[in-house]
Amino acid sequence: MKGDTKLLSRHQELGLTDDQVLRMYELMLSARMVDERMWLLNRSGKIPFVVSCQGQEGPQVAAAFAMDPSVDYAAPYYRDLGVVLAFGQTPRDVFLHMFARAEDPNSGGRQMPGHYGSKKHHILSGSSPVSTQIPHAVGMALAAKMRGESFVTYVSFGEGSSNQGDFHEGCNFAGVHKLPVIFFCENNRYAISVPLQKQVACEHVADRAIGYGFPGVVVDGNDVLEVYRVMKDAILRARNGQGPTLIEAMTYRLTPHSSDDDDRVYRTKEEVDEAKRNDAIAVFRTYLQNAGILTEQRETSIKNKLVEQINEATEYAQNAIDPSPESTLLHVYAN
């Protein structure tokens, strides 16, 4: 069934080929399925902790897909599984991290799940205190400017984190020096249990950009092509020396904050169900189906491939060796 012709060509208008949008879809699905597997592993007692990306894969993948991971850098936050996969980590890398194995490319088993970072993937190592990565991304962008290099740095955070001083200090610094950095706020409406209206008094986090002298853009995170478009604009601005952009993607966290949270005490099942109906992956799937790009057969083959990949990755990570206990003492300083 075909819909409006103008709507159907949206991805082509953005310069995206059919293969590219399918690849985006596959990455979103991969993030979702890896995440779902993580919960299974947690609930069956195999991994102690999960912090989830579910509901946010769409804007994450769209944002990362607008970048060039061979040149650009990401300073993601702990939910950014979609970004990490789009920047080249494999499900195997992610499960090695979840199982805290020696081969974990993010931390060698040192950090909690969701604390990504690997130089070869152009992903800066992150920590648990929120927003500290924002000035780091600004410093990375400063390095690009000082050395005359063209890479752009993406940094993401939740709307709750936009209340931290480091958000303000980082944005302000980047605005003053017109640095090639993109501040990407994934507004999922909850900072653990505290809803948006108890976090910020302004209508949108993006409204804050005016105070830093650069554009703030609000985008429907469930419309991944629109996320891609505003990211492309921001990247162009950054590469042209026009400075930073603050993008606020309106999204939703479909799971509790983490495997140790119970979201039933602070939001209703109806609200979550409603959000599931608008889930970016579902919306994008419909778009691809209507565009005639995603057939049922294609969908099945993508899913089968991912299941196989995730099974293999889980098994590999489960059987991989732990770091030696004594390695606790390594890498405090350079050798």
Partner 1 sequence: MTVKLYIDAIRDAMVQEMRSDPSVFVLGEDIGLRGGVFRVTQGMIEEFGEQRVMDTPLAESGIVGVAIGAAAMGLKPIAEIQFVDFILPAVNQIISEAAKMRYRSNDDWTCPMVIRAPFGGGVHGALYHSQSLEAMFYHIPGLKVVIPSTAADAKGLLTAAIRDPDPVLFFEHKGMYRSIRDDVPDGEHVVPIGQAAVRRVGTDITVITYGLMVHYAMQAADELEKEGISTHILDLRSILPLDKQAIVDSAKKTGKVLVVHEDNKTGGVGGEISAIIAEEALFDLDAPIVRLGGPDVPAMAFNASMERFYMLNPAKIADSMRALAAF
Q: Nearest CA to 189 among 245, 126, 267?
A: 267
- Between residues 88 and 108, which has the closer beta carbon with respect to partner 1? 108
- Between residues 239 and 298, which has the closer beta carbon with respect to partner 1? 239
- Interface region with partner 1, contact rule CB under 8 A, candidates 55-63, 114-122, 277-285, 286-294: 114-122
Burial 112-146 (b: 16+ CB within 10 A, else e): bbbbbbbeebbbbbbeeebbbbbbbbbbbbbebee
Residue 290 CB, shortest distance to partner 1, in Å, is 42
If you count them, how many residues does the chain have? Answer: 335
| Ranges within 45-74 binding partner 1 (CB under 8 A) | 73
- Interface region with partner 1, contact rule CB under 8 A, candidates 39-47, 103-111, 187-195, 305-313: 103-111
Phi, psi (deg, nearest 5) at residue 173: -60, -45
| Ranges within 133-152 binding partner 1 (CB under 8 A) | 134-144, 146-147
- Between residues 75 and 306, which has the closer beta carbon with respect to partner 1? 75
Chosen residue from 28, 51, 94, 124 binding partner 1 by CB under 8 A: 124
Residue 214 CB, shortest distance to partner 1, in Å, is 14
Residues 6 or more apart whose CB falls under 8 angstroms from that of 93 comprise: 104, 105, 106, 118
Residue 148 CB, shortest distance to partner 1, in Å, is 11
Chosen residue from 30, 42, 56, 106 binding partner 1 by CB under 8 A: 106
Kindly state whether residue 110 participates in binding partner 1, applying the rule CB under 8 A.
yes
| Ranges within 161-220 binding partner 1 (CB under 8 A) | 165-166, 168-170, 172-173, 176
Catalytic residues: 253, 257, 266
Alpha-carbon span 242 to 285, nearest angstrom: 35
Chosen residue from 23, 26, 90, 132 binding partner 1 by CB under 8 A: 132
Alpha-carbon span 100 to 48, nearest angstrom: 10
Beta bridge partners of 216: 246
Binding footprint of partner 1, residue count (CB under 8 A): 47
Ramachandran assignment for 256, one of left (phi > 0), alpha (psi -120 to 50 degrees), beta (any other)? beta
Quick count: other Cβ atoms within 10 Å of Cβ 91? 24
Kindly state whether residue 108 participates in binding partner 1, applying the rule CB under 8 A.
yes
Rounded to 10 deg, the angle between the 57-65 and 224-239 helix axes is 40
Kindly state whether residue 317 participates in binding partner 1, applying the rule CB under 8 A.
no
Tell me how many degrees the CA angle 248-251-257 measures, rounded to the nearest 5: 110
Residues 6 or more apart whose CB falls under 8 angstroms from that of 323 comprise: 100, 101, 102, 108, 109, 110
Task: Give the interface with partner 1 as residue ranges (CB under 8 A).
Answer: 73, 75, 104-111, 115, 117-119, 124-125, 127-129, 132, 134-144, 146-147, 153, 165-166, 168-170, 172-173, 176, 330-334
